[in-house]
Amino acid sequence: MRAPSSVAAATALLLLATPATAQLHKLAVQAGLRYFGAATDTPHQRERAPYPESYPQYDAILANNDEFGQTTPTNGQKWLFTEPAPRLFNFTEGDYVADLAASQGKLLRCHALVWHSQLAPWVEETNWTAPALADAIERHIRAVAGYYRGRCHAWDVVNEALDEDGSYRQSIFYRVLGEEYLRLAFRAAAAADPDAKLYYNDYGIERPTSPKTAGALRLVKMLKDAGLRVDGVGMQAHLHADNHPSAEDLIATSEAYAELVDEVAFTELDVRIKLPVDEQKLQWQKECYQKVVTACVKVKACVGITLWDFYDPFSWVPHVFPNNGASLLWFEDFSKHPAYDGIIETFKSLIAEAEEQPKRRSLGWRA
């Protein structure tokens, strides 16, 4: 008996949807990126602690390299965990993600050597002289980046050095050393891991007219003018579903950074929704994710996109921004956000567009 037309239509839609399983990284590579990845954290810690029953399904999704070909430790390589006391180094949490990446054949982005937040208390509590703090920074970078030498595709050397107005953040590092701490950090990182790509990483630097974007450009130029190696700029891209940059803005910003560095990346992508979730907000979120993908593929220097985890319960967003959430691609029940299929659609469209260009040129069309 022939299926009713409604059933046949539903079956056809299901068949069309089926290929959208486990192919984010695969399609990203086909579109010309080096990777599409997701950050992850240590099991039983922080946001992951209340959800042990979800680990098997979560781990299976993360392990599929067609889905995620790259990962980053969301927390385990930060100062709080790697040097909890002076000259006492602990790589347990960082090793969890680094070992996971190695065992699964994923690219590893390492994060973050110098950051004002999640510092070990002793760093903030010490009454520093400039030489003593400079020595502590150099020692920390030498130990941590040296320990992971050869394992990290890239290091976020300095994270979030700028305030919202583009001026330097008044961190312990800046108060004691001024902008010299930035030069010191990149110099030490280059010596500790010569093959890693060295990044400046920040949030709020995705829009071309933002004063913070201008500050990031000045910061990178200052480092380059000092003769230091800065390979990339990481746009964290913690974005808002209801107010996000256009693809054109993201392209313009990325191209501005690419005038100074060899590569750019979207390093901590999530798109938060003001709760409660509804269909319109999910549509806005989908469009935002699609714009990021479009921008990265369209900019030659953009090497990849990293989600700041992929499973909503493991997101940092609800813990920091009350009444916000659902910022990633998988809901708590492991169903996917519409944004997942939107990303797939965008990659496929951009791949088809790229394949069409040689055909147009061969027929004498204007590309």
Residues pairing with 240 in the sheet: 243, 272
- How many whole angstroms separate alpha carbon 24 and alpha carbon 42? 23
Asked if residues 234 and 265 have their Cβ atoms less than 8 Å apart, the reply is yes
Tokens (6 digits) for 146:
């040296």
Q: Which of 47, 93, 160, 287 is the catalytic position?
A: 160
Asked if residues 328 and 307 have their Cβ atoms less than 8 Å apart, the reply is yes
Pairs from 80-86 (Cβ < 8 Å, separation ≥ 24): 80/118, 80/119, 80/120, 81/118, 82/140, 82/143, 82/144, 83/120, 83/140, 83/143, 83/144, 84/120, 85/120, 85/122, 86/122, 86/136
- How many whole angstroms separate alpha carbon 230 and alpha carbon 222? 10
Q: Which of 47, 67, 263, 268 is the catalytic position?
A: 268
The question of whether 160 is a catalytic residue gets the answer yes
How far separated are the first and last CA of the chain, in Å rounded? 49
> By three-state DSSP, how is residue 207 classified?
coil
Residues pairing with 234 in the sheet: 201, 265
The question of whether 255 is a catalytic residue gets the answer no
Asked if residues 164 and 212 have their Cβ atoms less than 8 Å apart, the reply is yes
Q: Judging by beta carbons within 10 Å of its beta carbon (0-12, 13-18, 19+), is residue 270 exposed, middle or buried?
A: buried
Tokens (6 digits) for 117:
């937040």
Catalytically active residues, by annotation: 160, 268
